[in-house]
Chain A
Amino acid sequence: MRLTTKIVTVVTVAVAALALTGLATAKDKAPSGRELYKEYCKPCHTADSPNGEYTPMTLIQDQWTEFFTKNYERTHKNVVDPKHDNAKVLELITPDMLKKIQKFAVDHAADSEHPMTCG
């Protein structure tokens, strides 16, 4: 095998290994509630948005709980997400994802110990 071929082979194997490692890591590391909020909620709820600005500390914990249990589906049934190929939000955000988003919002609500925006 010529030297050039050897180098190309080694580099290709190394790149493939790194790519696989990266994929495995990404797969292992499920997104946090904060990351999900940022990805799926924030884009439509920034300051000056016609949909209203919402960060976790916009509401108190009781208001977030009421929203997710009573109002989320009703208010989002016709909403599509332009950031994700206009997919329907209710289908795009799975129950597990929604649970994480709700926990993040409640844990960092205006009356929590650590109110925050999602960055």
Chain B
Amino acid sequence: MLKRFVLAVGTLALLAMPAAAAKTYSHSKYFEHYEGTKTCLKCHMKEAKEFFHSQHYQWEGAAPQIVNSHGEKLGKRNTINDFCTNPMANWIGLVRNSRGEILTKGCSKCHAGLGKIPTAEMSREQLENIDCLICHASGYRRDLYKAEDGTLEWRPILWKNQVGLDSVSKRISLPKRAMCLRCHSGSGGGPNFKRGDLEYELADTNAQFDVHMGTDGADMQCIDCHAGQDHRVRGRGADLSGTDMPNARLRCDNDDCHGSAPHQAEILNHHTSRVYCTTCHIPDFAKKDATDMVRDWSKPFYHEAADKYSATITMGKDVIPAYAWYNGTTWEQLPKEPVTRLADGSVGMMVPQGSRKDPNARICAFKLHRGKMPVLKGKNWIIPIVVEEFFADGNIDKAVKNAAKDFYGIDDAQYEWIDTTRYMGIFHEVQPAKNALQCLDCHGPNGRLDWKALGYPGDPMLAMLKSSH
């Protein structure tokens, strides 16, 4: 029986895969000189207004999948994470080390705006703050410059070269992999630090690395799955707070992708109601660039070569995912709420919901990120960290206290350090079918699933075999 299982596992048919169409729309006939976003707005006011309300601009939005959101809008701006914690105190700025070298320019480096903090109210100024080119012009690059009034703003690095800027700004296309990955791979402070399954390698890779994005595979662009409507993006993994399209859940088994019975072997299709595709088809992640697995903010670490401080970070490569039930909703440790601890005593920053008894839940693959974060004594609130200055001076006490003042308005905060755990869904770097997990990878004596933690008395296949004899 086991042998039949082993022989049967490992065939995922990639059905009806849409071919990548990196559509380009040369704008050479639409304008002569690019003069900033106002050039785009002449024709694309409707699109700008749509984008203004999106997650990519607002960095917060409706969060119905966060079970404790209480109807509030959530996002990067008003929540705290265990990577760079919160962008608002770190929005924009030039931080230099003792040698005068620039260490960091702020979290807005990856905001699709030109430096101003997004507001709830739409205005001409805010619409002109949208940086259309960062997502739509492949050759566009920007840097931080001081404006005439002394404020900092993101500008095209070609701002002094109008001919070059005109050329680049007319090369308009739908976002290509490389354009999305410039921000989404670099988040968390370095290549693949944060997500684990979103590596720069995916910009130009092969099907062995990722069957969907490999150029010799389906060669799909990010937007082939994630594009929604009106500049809204589909998909939220498991640890995104606000969501652009909460009612358009992105799943492998959508009918226009793989469907609910994608395997030739019936025994494999029998698994799909309880085991999500990623569990078997992403046996490991962080295959080229290591990913941040543990970030301990309580222990500043000095990087001599860069003359820079960071948290003490433990990296992992070729990481085997953690597995948990997930029904599409998440519990989030929110600010101004006393911390809630998991069974291991750590604070769950993002915890997928679901259980064996939940018919909507399936076993999914996760990156389990652990951290050490400051908690306000008395109230037990998580505190963010003003990371930018900390990178230069390594003074973590000052960075925590400044953050408590900025975020909560509390002077001279007294705090302690607590362990944190974040579940991050792993959905990319899907392997060719021949590399998928085999029966014994889960059901063998040293299987990777912790059945008891998943709510089973033991391996359910052994129980089934026993009952059939």
Interface residues of A (CB under 8 A from B): 57-60, 62-63, 110-113, 115
When distances are taken between beta carbons in the complex, the residues of chain B under 8 Å from A112 are 139
- A113 to B203: give the CA distance in the assembly, Å: 11
Asked if B168 and A110 sit within 8 Å, CB to CB, the answer is yes
If A57-B157, A60-B158 touch, whether A110 touches B139 (CB-CB below 8 Å) is: yes
Asked if A110 and B157 sit within 8 Å, CB to CB, the answer is yes
Asked if A110 and B163 sit within 8 Å, CB to CB, the answer is no
Asked if B141 and A115 sit within 8 Å, CB to CB, the answer is yes
If A110-B157, A111-B168, A115-B157 touch, whether A60 touches B141 (CB-CB below 8 Å) is: no
Asked if A62 and B178 sit within 8 Å, CB to CB, the answer is no
Asked if B161 and A59 sit within 8 Å, CB to CB, the answer is yes
When distances are taken between beta carbons in the complex, the residues of chain B under 8 Å from A110 are 139, 141, 157-158, 161, 164, 168
Q: Closest approach, in angstroms, between the C-beta of A51 and any C-beta of chain B?
A: 15
Encoded as 1 (CB less than 8 Å from any A CB) or 0, chain B from 151 to 194 comes to 00000011011011001100000000010000000000000000
Q: Closest approach, in angstroms, between the C-beta of B201 and any C-beta of chain A?
A: 13
Asked if A111 and B163 sit within 8 Å, CB to CB, the answer is no
- A102 to B21: give the CA distance in the assembly, Å: 32
Asked if A57 and B167 sit within 8 Å, CB to CB, the answer is no
Asked if A111 and B141 sit within 8 Å, CB to CB, the answer is yes
Interface centre among B141, B160, B164, B167 (most CB of A within 10 A): B164
- A59 to B168: give the CA distance in the assembly, Å: 11
B297 on the A face (CB < 8 A): no
When distances are taken between beta carbons in the complex, the residues of chain B under 8 Å from A58 are 160-161
Asked if B164 and A59 sit within 8 Å, CB to CB, the answer is yes
- A111 to B157: give the CA distance in the assembly, Å: 9
Interface residues of B (CB under 8 A from A): 138-141, 157-158, 160-161, 163-164, 167-168, 178
- A63 to B166: give the CA distance in the assembly, Å: 12
Q: Look across to chain B and name the residue whose beta carbon is closest to the beta carbon of A52.
A: B160
- A59 to B160: give the CA distance in the assembly, Å: 10
Q: Which 9 pairs from chain A and chain B are nearest by CB? A: A111-B139, A60-B164, A110-B158, A115-B141, A111-B168, A110-B157, A57-B157, A60-B167, A63-B164
Asked if A111 and B164 sit within 8 Å, CB to CB, the answer is yes
Q: Look across to chain A and name the residue whose beta carbon is closest to the beta carbon of B167.
A: A60
For this complex, 11 residue pairs linking A to B, each with C-beta atoms less than 8 Å apart, are: A57-B141, A58-B160, A60-B139, A60-B158, A60-B167, A110-B139, A111-B138, A111-B139, A111-B168, A112-B139, A115-B157
When distances are taken between beta carbons in the complex, the residues of chain B under 8 Å from A63 are 161, 163-164
Q: Look across to chain B and name the residue whose beta carbon is closest to the beta carbon of A61.
A: B139
Interface centre among B160, B161, B178 (most CB of A within 10 A): B161
When distances are taken between beta carbons in the complex, the residues of chain A under 8 Å from B158 are 60, 110
When distances are taken between beta carbons in the complex, the residues of chain A under 8 Å from B140 are 111
When distances are taken between beta carbons in the complex, the residues of chain A under 8 Å from B138 are 111
- A58 to B164: give the CA distance in the assembly, Å: 9
Asked if B178 and A113 sit within 8 Å, CB to CB, the answer is yes
- A111 to B139: give the CA distance in the assembly, Å: 4
When distances are taken between beta carbons in the complex, the residues of chain A under 8 Å from B164 are 59-60, 63, 110-111
- A35 to B138: give the CA distance in the assembly, Å: 28
Q: Closest approach, in angstroms, between the C-beta of A24 and any C-beta of chain B?
A: 27
- A57 to B143: give the CA distance in the assembly, Å: 11
- A115 to B163: give the CA distance in the assembly, Å: 17
Q: Look across to chain A and name the residue whose beta carbon is closest to the beta carbon of B141.
A: A115
When distances are taken between beta carbons in the complex, the residues of chain B under 8 Å from A113 are 178
Asked if A60 and B178 sit within 8 Å, CB to CB, the answer is no
Q: Closest approach, in angstroms, between the C-beta of B127 and any C-beta of chain A?
A: 26
Q: Look across to chain B and name the residue whose beta carbon is closest to the beta carbon of A57.
A: B157
- A115 to B168: give the CA distance in the assembly, Å: 13
Q: Look across to chain A and name the residue whose beta carbon is closest to the beta carbon of B140.
A: A111
When distances are taken between beta carbons in the complex, the residues of chain A under 8 Å from B161 are 58-60, 63, 110
Interface centre among A60, A62, A63 (most CB of B within 10 A): A60
Asked if B157 and A60 sit within 8 Å, CB to CB, the answer is no
- A63 to B167: give the CA distance in the assembly, Å: 10
